[in-house]
Every structure is written in C-alpha cells, then in structure tokens.
Amino acid sequence: MKIIRTVILGLGVSFSALQLQAQAHDICMDPKTKKYGVCYADTIRVPQIYDFGQYINSFEFILVKDGKYGVCDRYGNWIIELIYDHMWEFTEMPNELLVKQGEKYGIINLKGKIIVPFYELQAGEINTFHIDDHLSFAKKENDFQVTHDGKMAVYNMQGKLIFDFIYPFVQDILVKPEDPKKQSHYIFLVGSNGKYSFVDAHNKPIFKDVVVDNLYSVYHAWGSHTKGIERNGEISFINIETGTILSHTEMDDMLQPFNMIQNIDDKMGAIGANGKFRIECKYDNIVEVPEVDFALVEVNGKKGLTNFDGEILIEPIYDNVLEICFDGMDPTMYAYEVDNGKYMAIFAYDPSAKKMVAKTSFMYTDISCFEVTKDGLKAYLTDSTGKKGLLLPNGKIEMNK
C-alpha cells in the first residue's frame, strides 16, 4: 500500500514529501477542493479536477472522475480512457489491472490491452481478492475463475485459458510434486448437481473412483497435497498428487482438536480431531481466539463470537467484535470493540443463557484491561463525552463527577 505523506505549500497544493526530495511525478491533491491531479515538484502537470488519484509508477496514474476510472501518463495523455466502473491495481502484478464494466470483470495491461476477457466472476474470487477499494492481490500462479451462460472457466493471470467452459463449476488446484525433478501441474475439481470429481487439463478423469459432495481446504500444518473431501456426510483426506485416501489413523496424526476449514463456496467452518464438524461451514471468515476456545465469526460483513463447538456467544450483528484484552483470572469477562468500531462494551458469560451478554452499554470510547485488586476485577472506562469512570467487581459503574 502506497501512503502519500503531504505538506501544504504556499500555492495551496499538497504534495508528497518524498516527491519533493526525489523530484518525481506523483499524485497530488488540492487541500481546498479535495480533488486529485499529477504534479512534479511544485508544478501541476495534470489538473487537480479528479475525484481520486492513485500512483502506479512515475509514468502512469489511475484517475477517477464521475465514477469512471482510467489511466493517464505524467503529461496528462490518456493511456486508458475513463471508461471503467472500477479499477484495481495488483500488489504483485505491476503491469496488469483488474477492471470492472457493468457486472463483468476482466484484466488489462497498462497499455489498455485486454489480457483476460470480460466475464462474471465466480463468487469468492478464488485466489484473486480485493485488499481494499483500490488494491487487489494476485500472484503469477493465481487463477481467475469466470462464468458465462451458466458455465465456468479458468484463466491464469497471463490471460491463458487453462480450462474451458464445460461444467457449471470448475476449480483449479496447482499440484507441486514432492519430487523436485517433477514439474508442477494443474488438476481440476469439476461438477454439477452437487457432485464433484477430478479431471486433468484435457478433461480426462483422474482418481476415477473419487466422487465427492464437497472439497475442503484445512488450515493446519500438514502437507500441501492434503485436501478434505466429503462423502456421505463424512470427511476424509486425499493426497491430491497421488489420489490416495488417508486412513483415520493418518488423519488423527494430522488433526488438532480444532481445525478451520473452507469449502467450495468459500464458506468457513471447523472440524475436530476425529474429522467431524465442530462448526458448520456457513461463515465468511473465522478467527481463532485459542486462549478461551472462542472463534470470531463473520457473516455478510457483520461479526460475532462462537465457542469451538459453534454455539453462538455473541450474535454476528456487529460491525466489529474485537477483544481488547484477555484476562486469565476470569476468562468469562471481556471488553469488546463494537458498533462501527466507535464504541466499546464489556461482555460477561451468562451460564444460564450460554451466551456472552453486555455488562455495560455501548457508550464507551475506551476500556482498559481488567485490573486485579483485592476486591476483584476492575476496569477503567471513558465514555463518549470524555468522562472517566470505573467498573467495579459487583458490576456497578462509578463515573467521575
């Protein structure tokens, strides 16, 4: 992520401080109008009339006006006209851009040439995802899954079609052999009607007897060739280089008591050491809180909290649920940042409800970690007006007068 540090000059224009030292072309913003342009030292080379500007390199710049994105050079010549509805710079693919027109996406180079034709994206954008509004992550070995007329295909990031539009679903898996003398190759999980199998790049079946209901990536330390496959409601492990199904003993040696998994639809859940589900795959993201066997979960951008068996402790309805501090003396009481990250509250575990409940209202902008005193745990509070106070061990709050 490129951070522009600015200083304000007498001309009423802000510039990159690094730019002034190196005398390089860079994005600059008028502090009065909040409009962007391209400058060289104290000279405006491209007028500051644009709604947004992003540095690509010292020769090319993304500019946005009236919701349309394009790329100009340092002299204001348009390399790519303002025609795209969105444009993302890749972090690790410096000569390519992910662009959107209508509901379709494609990849172009910095000369405007189309590298990957425009298609609808497969939900989840496997291996190619947006970091923020104006930046995407992609490596050369990443794929680009697209849909057209109900069929899915896969392109690589250089624009080569590596699997054609044959099936409603296709996901490529890059296999890197254990033997370094052997070349890496793709296999493909393909399917329809809820059944999936493996084929090679020419659509010839491999692992012929392996038909699965789902495929899982499992987030713990074992060989990169291991995937979880679901058949008849049970999960087994398969070595995707050889097609070997692992035994229960081999699985036990790999698994931890809690193992995060991700399915074909990019939904996350967890399985236990026996390979059985502990948390159903229904969350967009899961983050372990291992000190207390809790998991932060996310659904449609809203966050909540479960235990390791999937029981909901805090409903996923908040814009943020962030543990401020962990207290080993009382692992049932926590301070959380909630409600747009603006206010905080303290939650305590209610054994009868089997949930975390708010012990304080969402009115605090700061809550300290709990302090152990002879009377019990205390926490220091600051409310939205700046007034400070104390949460006492009996649950009462005393605010300073």
pLDDT of residue 393: 75
Question: Does the residue 315 lie in any domain?
Answer: yes
Give the number of other CB atoms < 10 A from CB of residue 375.
9
* Opening angle at CA 314, ends 391 and 349, nearest 5: 50
pLDDT of residue 29: 94
What is the extent of the structural domain holding 335? 298-401
Residue 337 structure tokens: 């940042």
pLDDT of residue 104: 93
pLDDT of residue 7: 29
Question: Does the residue 23 lie in any domain?
Answer: no
Instruction: Report the number of distinct structural domains present in the chain.
Output: 1
d(CA 61, CA 54): 6
d(CA 310, CA 234): 18
**Contact between residue 207 and residue 199 where contact means Cβ atoms under 8 Å apart:** no
Length of the chain: 401
pLDDT of residue 336: 64
Question: Does the residue 227 lie in any domain?
Answer: no
**CA-based nearest residue to 317, from 336, 293, 291:** 336
Q: What is the DSSP letter of 259?
A: E
pLDDT of residue 91: 87
**Is the CA virtual torsion 114, 116, 117, 123 positive or negative?**
negative
No. of H helices and E strands in the chain? 2, 41
Question: Does the residue 383 lie in any domain?
Answer: yes
d(CA 383, CA 385): 5
pLDDT of residue 34: 94
pLDDT of residue 84: 97
Question: Does the residue 303 lie in any domain?
Answer: yes
Question: Does the residue 290 lie in any domain?
Answer: no
pLDDT of residue 102: 94
Give me the average pLDDT of each 10-residue run along the chain (401 residues).
28 39 79 94 92 93 97 94 95 91 94 94 60 83 89 93 95 87 91 94 93 88 75 89 88 88 91 91 90 87 90 86 56 59 76 82 76 76 86 80 73
Cross-strand pairs, 315: none
Question: Does the residue 308 lie in any domain?
Answer: yes
pLDDT of residue 11: 33
CA distances from 293 to 5, 76, 168, 237, 311 (A): 41, 56, 38, 25, 11
DSSP 92-139: S-TTEEEEEETTEEEEEETT--EEEEEEEEPTT-TT-EEEETTEEE--
pLDDT of residue 337: 64
pLDDT of residue 218: 87
**Contact between residue 299 and residue 274 where contact means Cβ atoms under 8 Å apart:** no
pLDDT of residue 329: 47
Question: Does the residue 324 lie in any domain?
Answer: yes
DSSP 3-state of 20: helix
Tell me the residue ranges of DSSP E strands in 232-332.
234-239, 259-262, 268-271, 277-283, 285-289, 294-299, 302-307, 312-318, 322-325
